[in-house]
Amino acid sequence: MKTTAKMLLRWLGVFLLCFLAIYVIVFFGGWKLFESGDPILIEIGVALVLSIFIFAINEVLTKHERKIKDLEEHIRKLEDTIAKQQITNL
């Protein structure tokens, strides 16, 4: 439950950053794309899509980084074991 809450908060942060970035672009004379229809709803939709995409990339990178750290720790343990065996063999 704790990790789900953290993931949700991280996604919410990414969503807010995307929405603010899109809002600033539109506010300062941005694209004509947002002129038709309700601009706030379109901005929210675009921010939602972008935030999900960015969040997914971030999660994949975080998972791979954790795997790399675990492998490095495992290699370090194996090296220590080999070093101890070599010392006892002398």
Return all residues near 14 (Cβ < 8 A) that are at least 6 apart.
51, 54, 55, 58
The Cβ of residue 20 has, within 10 Å, a number of other Cβ atoms equal to: 13
Confidence of residue 19 (pLDDT cuts 50, 70, 90): confident
> Tokens 């908060």 identify what position?
9
Residue 89: pLDDT over 60: yes
Q: How many residues does the chain have?
A: 90
- pTM for the model stands at 0.56
Share of the chain above pLDDT 70, in %: 80
- pLDDT value for 36: 64
Distance CA 61, CA 68 (A): 10
Lookup: tokens for 68: 């790399």
pLDDT of residue 73: 95
Alpha-carbon distance of 32 to 69, in angstroms, equals: 46
